[in-house]
Amino acid sequence: MAEDARDTRATLALLAALAAAAAGAHALGEPFYVNMAARVAILAMAAAGLNLALGFGGMVSFGHAAFFGLGGYAAGVAAWHAANQIPLASWPVLVPGTDRMIVVWAAAAATGGLAALLIGALSLRTSGVQFIMITLAFAQMFYYFAISWPAYGGEDGLPIYLRNGIEGLDVYDPFTFFAICFVWLAATLAGTARIMRARFGAALTMARLSEARLASAGVDPFPVRLTAFALSGAVTAVAGALNADLNGFVGPSALSWKMSGELMAFVILGGVGRLGGPVAGAAAFVLLEHFLGAATERWVLVFGALLLGVTLFARGGLLGLLAGRARHG
Amino acid sequence: MSAALALEQALNGVQLGVMLFLAAAGLTLIFGVMGLINLAHGALFMTGAYACAFLTRETGSFWLGLAGGALAAAAAGAAVELLVVRRLYGRDHLDQVLATFALALIFSDAARWIFGPQPLWLDPPAALSGAVPLPGGGAYPAYRLAIIVAGLAAAAGLHALIARTRLGMRIRAGESDREMVAALGVNVALLYTAVFALGAGLAGFAGAMVGALRSVQADMGEPVLILAFVVIVIGGVGSVKGAFAGAMLVGVTDTMGRALLPALFARIWDPATAAGAGAAVASMLIYMLMAAVLVLRPKGLFPADG
């Protein structure tokens, strides 16, 4: 479809701009801005995970911070156990901690996916406002749990003193770390596009547009939605693990409702259900945060006012400006 | 646990439940009548607490502060409805969530701006600073007992307002059929503003009373908002009766869990582990309650029609 092609072109242009910005900053010897680009890639990936549930699946989750934070804690806890040489579990089999990124990603994806499966199985029994409230409440459950469980830092969070590594790569080089995050983001977007073109994507779209029509075509909407929700949670969790490694820290704030709201804002500011929407939304947020945050102490107030203005008066998001009208209004 | 301690914890649970009801009643009314999900409701709760702390400091009278807190929150609610929320009724939930989330951010940062990052402290009035003896030998703070009484009175007043007055009749009509109410010549715009201000005033009243129990700070509304959501989901979205039942269930479960679980776990584990695990599990208890209600009755205990 023509609009899909336009969407793809805009997405590719955004990715190219992000890579060019990081490469430019690297060439000028500005590691700060390379790290900023890595942050954009990570937040965009987390929001792209949410977009699968929210944009393409129509499931308005206000609890994706749960998966983002769980992924972060998966990275932090694994690294903590590896650093202190305490096994993660000694029964039924000995599970040591790890400082290998690939293992951490798998653990984060599994944790986030499983949590999303459980939360989704309960929350998808409802819809509309109840779904929003329930996903938010379950995310807060993890937040309060992280605060009150003292083993992994509790309220203070968990520092990761040594960044998790990959054989053959210098992960402390900012540009290498950016490249890792960028590949993850690109893979997420390519995977999303692939899924949405497949039979499963068609079923998910129809589950959003008209449940009755999907059911009458002989497809039960519930497993379709639940699968998309679990996948969405797994993607956001991997982004959370990358974020923990970028900051060298994971704390309860990664699980807080503000994080959920911000992820949602990226998706909506960028353009709901648009492939590149999360990239545009996350980039706009990080840039605004950096420049407005430097200019005023009241950055949260300004961000709130901007978000309010955009929600009330500008519809269709940034991708709407870049690639034309939204596919569904 | 002795009987006196158990009674004290039960009263704490009821006190939390009453607070949660005042916060949740507005949320559920606003959803029931206008179909709006309001994430800024916690911010209105906070507005009541700040206004009360400020007025008490300036006038020296807690009672003026309490009334001012409820009124300030109601006024803030009416202003927010007129300026922003009014534009959101026809929108989908996504826009409502985002816009009211933005409002919550604005309110809490503005509070931090006006009153500074340090929490404000508010003392309970002198007349209620003592303790009331409980049967069985314990004593209970008079102020907390007064909160329970005031909260129950507010709940009864709200019930009377909805069941017996013209405004209440219109609220009930709005809950069952919004378009028809407008078609019958009721000034719907005014009704919506009134309902929003009423909900905000109840939340502000609760915030003002809680302010003297804990400190008054900019993010004090968030946990209340989340708990109010849990209450509403358990009770049934849109039902005031459900909000009352849900609030009591959540208040008592949460308080009793925090009091009992660490002691219970101490029988299995060493004290340090038991304290940590008890606190952690207790913090999850009400969400487990919510999950259980969802499995058994997906629409809540008292589903509202519609």
Q: What is the pLDDT of residues A65-114, one digit of tens each?
A: 999 999 999 999 999 998 888 888 877 778 888 888 999 999 999 999 99
User: Does residue A281 have a pLDDT over 50?
Assistant: yes
Residue B305 is predicted with a pLDDT of 58
Q: How far is B304 from chain A (nearest CA, A)?
A: 13
Q: Which of A205-219, B131-145, B196-210 has the highest mean pLDDT?
A: B196-210
Q: How far apart are the first and last CA of chain A?
A: 17
Q: Which whole number is the average pLDDT over A234-244?
A: 97
For residues A110 and A180, what is the distance between their CA atoms, to the nearest angstrom?
20
pLDDT band at A150 (very low <50, low <70, confident <90, very high): confident
Token pair belonging to A121: 């199985």
For residues B91 and B88, what is the distance between their CA atoms, to the nearest angstrom?
5
Q: Shortest CA distance to B162 belongs to which of B27, B29, B73?
A: B29
Q: Does residue A196 lie in a domain region?
A: yes
Q: How far apart are the first and last CA of chain B?
A: 45
Tell me the per-residue pLDDT of B150-184, one tens digit each, with 9 for 90 and over: 999 999 999 999 889 998 988 888 888 878 888 88
Asked if residues B271 and B36 have their Cβ atoms less than 8 Å apart, the reply is: no
Residue A295 is predicted with a pLDDT of 86
- What DSSP character marks residue B35? -
pLDDT band at B306 (very low <50, low <70, confident <90, very high): very low
pLDDT band at A1 (very low <50, low <70, confident <90, very high): very low
Token pair belonging to A296: 């005023």
Tell me the per-residue pLDDT of B249-261, one tens digit each, with 9 for 90 and over: 999 999 999 888 8
Residue A104 is predicted with a pLDDT of 93
Is the four-CA dihedral B200, B201, B205, B211 of positive or negative sign? Answer: positive
Which of B105, B287, B295 lies nearest to residue A141, judging by beta carbons? B287
User: Does residue A2 have a pLDDT over 70?
Assistant: no
For residues A40 and B94, what is the distance between their CA atoms, to the nearest angstrom?
23
Average pLDDT, chain B: 90
Residue A324 is predicted with a pLDDT of 67
Q: Which residues contact A190 (CB under 8 A, 6 or more apart)?
A: none
pLDDT band at A312 (very low <50, low <70, confident <90, very high): confident
Asked if residues A245 and A164 have their Cβ atoms less than 8 Å apart, the reply is: yes
Token pair belonging to A187: 């893979």
Residue B260 is predicted with a pLDDT of 87
- Structural domain including A221 reads 2-323
For residues A54 and A46, what is the distance between their CA atoms, to the nearest angstrom?
12
| Between A119 and A168, residue with greater pLDDT | A119
CA distances from A233 to A42, A45, A79, A238, B286 (A): 14, 11, 21, 9, 23
pLDDT band at A329 (very low <50, low <70, confident <90, very high): very low
Q: Shortest CA distance to A315 belongs to which of B91, B34, B82?
A: B91
Q: Shortest CA distance to A310 belongs to which of A319, A299, A318?
A: A318
Whether A138 and chain B come into contact, CB under 8 Å, resolves to yes
Residue B69 is predicted with a pLDDT of 95
Tell me the per-residue pLDDT of B264-285, one tens digit each, with 9 for 90 and over: 888 888 887 888 888 888 888 9
For residues B90 and B96, what is the distance between their CA atoms, to the nearest angstrom?
9
| Percentage of chain B lying above the pLDDT 70 cut | 99
Least confident of A66-80, A135-149, A184-198: A135-149
Residue B261 is predicted with a pLDDT of 87
Q: Does residue A108 lie in a domain region?
A: yes
Q: Shortest CA distance to B203 belongs to which of B75, B32, B34, B64?
A: B75
Asked if residues B266 and A94 have their Cβ atoms less than 8 Å apart, the reply is: no
Residue A126: count other Cβ atoms within 10 Å of its Cβ: 19
Q: How far is B262 from chain A (nearest CA, A)?
A: 12
User: C-alpha angle B247/B250/B253, rounded to 5°?
Assistant: 145
Residue A209: count other Cβ atoms within 10 Å of its Cβ: 11
For residues B152 and B157, what is the distance between their CA atoms, to the nearest angstrom?
8
Residue B48 one-letter amino acid: G
Residue A197 is predicted with a pLDDT of 92
Q: Which whole number is the average pLDDT over A268-292?
A: 90
Q: How far is B63 from chain A (nearest CA, A)?
A: 32
Tell me the per-residue pLDDT of B72-101, one tens digit each, with 9 for 90 and over: 999 999 999 999 999 998 888 888 999 999
- What DSSP character marks residue A263? H
Is A128 close to B93, i.e. CB distance below 8 A?
Answer: yes
pLDDT band at A326 (very low <50, low <70, confident <90, very high): low
Which backbone phi and psi does A153 adopt, to 5 degrees? 95, -20
Tell me the per-residue pLDDT of B185-197, one tens digit each, with 9 for 90 and over: 888 889 999 999 9
Which of B84, B110, B290 lies nearest to residue A301, judging by beta carbons? B110
Is B290 close to A129, i.e. CB distance below 8 A?
Answer: no
Which of A264, A265, A304 lies nearest to residue B106, judging by beta carbons? A304
Q: Does residue A328 lie in a domain region?
A: no
For residues B74 and B80, what is the distance between their CA atoms, to the nearest angstrom?
10
E strands, chain A, in order: 158-159, 249-250
Longest C-alpha distance within chain A, in Å? 59
| Between B147 and B136, residue with greater pLDDT | B147
**ipTM of the complex model:** 0.87
Domain count, chain A: 1
| Percentage of chain A lying above the pLDDT 90 cut | 62
Tell me the per-residue pLDDT of B281-305, one tens digit each, with 9 for 90 and over: 888 899 989 888 888 888 889 887 5
Which backbone phi and psi does B133 adopt, to 5 degrees? -65, 140
Average pLDDT, chain A: 90
Q: Does residue A329 lie in a domain region?
A: no
A-B interface: how many C-beta pairs under 8 angstroms? 118
B12-133+140-296 architecture in CATH? Orthogonal Bundle (1.10)
Whether A121 and chain B come into contact, CB under 8 Å, resolves to no
CA distances from A36 to A49, A76, A119, A177, B211 (A): 20, 21, 32, 11, 40
Size of chain B, expressed as the number of residues it contains = 306
Strands A249-250 and A158-159: antiparallel
